[in-house]
Chains A and B, each alone.
Chain A
Amino acid sequence: DAGVIQSPRHEVTEMGQEVTLRCKPISGHNSLFWYRQTMMRGLELLIYFNNNVPIDDSGMPEDRFSAKMPNASFSTLKIQPSEPRDSAVYFCASSPDRAFTYEQYFGPGTRLTVT
């Protein structure tokens, strides 16, 4: 298996633009997570899905952020409009089970820079 795939790897955009990050989880995994990592705050959970259904989006910072999982092999995280404080590395991870007693497999991340 190729592991979790994320695209793009790097994104540079101007404030106010829409940004869409993409993720393909490991085949057969039924849980998918979106995280954001910054030096100040570390790795923070934004939202997670189980069997394509959003379970907890309490970590989504504000309405400018939205996430979808239209099928078991694809998810998107959208920021509209983007702001400089959204600059961070965004990770997607998948897990074989909903329980948090299982390991998570992380993608390589998308480094987002908003100018």
Chain B
Amino acid sequence: SQKIEQNSEALNIQEGKTATLTCNYTNYSPAYLQWYRQDPGRGPVFLLLIRENEKEKRKERLKVTFDTTLKQSLFHITASQPADSATYLCAHSSGNTPLVFGKGTRLSVIA
């Protein structure tokens, strides 16, 4: 079965730096990866989707890259701010299979 691994349970960075979160998946191609943000006591909120044939996707200060050889996606937040502190979830689908979520990385941006 599909496994999604987010390599860090928690990540602390200084304000203004770039945060980089990693998501690895084990099976199934084609691959579609979604990234969500979850704040305490709230439901996940969709951020970005990247398809297997896309190398990179951007949205404001967010950037997602995809390396199908490594079966890995990197999620970057540039010029990080304390307001970016949250848990970030990665989710994989092959397109017609349900999303499988990683356990998330809890990001803390320190002022």
Which A residues fall within an 8 A CB radius of B?
4, 33, 42-45, 48, 56, 91, 93, 99-101, 103-109
Can you name 28 A-B residue pairings with CB atoms under 8 Å? A42-B101, A42-B103, A42-B104, A43-B89, A44-B101, A45-B98, A48-B98, A56-B98, A91-B43, A91-B44, A93-B43, A99-B96, A100-B94, A100-B95, A100-B96, A100-B97, A100-B98, A100-B99, A101-B32, A101-B95, A103-B34, A104-B99, A105-B46, A106-B36, A106-B45, A108-B41, A108-B43, A109-B41
Expressed in whole angstroms, the minimum distance between the Cβ of B36 and any Cβ of chain A is 8
Expressed in whole angstroms, the minimum distance between the Cβ of B38 and any Cβ of chain A is 8
Q: How many residues of B contact A (CB 8 A)?
A: 24
Residues of the A chain whose Cβ atoms lie less than 8 Å from the Cβ of B13: none
Expressed in whole angstroms, the minimum distance between the Cβ of A16 and any Cβ of chain B is 28
Residues of the B chain whose Cβ atoms lie less than 8 Å from the Cβ of A99: 95-96
Which B residues fall within an 8 A CB radius of A?
32, 34, 36, 41-46, 49, 51, 89, 93-104
Interface of B is mostly: loop
Set A43, A44, A48, A100: member contacting B44, Cβ < 8 A? A43
Q: Identify which of A4, A56, A100, A104 gathers the most chain B CB atoms within 10 Å of its CB.
A: A100
Set B43, B93, B95, B100: member contacting A107, Cβ < 8 A? B43
Expressed in whole angstroms, the minimum distance between the Cβ of A80 and any Cβ of chain B is 25
Interchain CA distance A80-B70 in the complex, whole Å: 44
Pairwise interchain contact B49-A101, C-beta atoms closer than 8 A:
yes
The chain B residue sitting closest to A105, CB to CB, is B46
Interchain CA distance A114-B96 in the complex, whole Å: 35
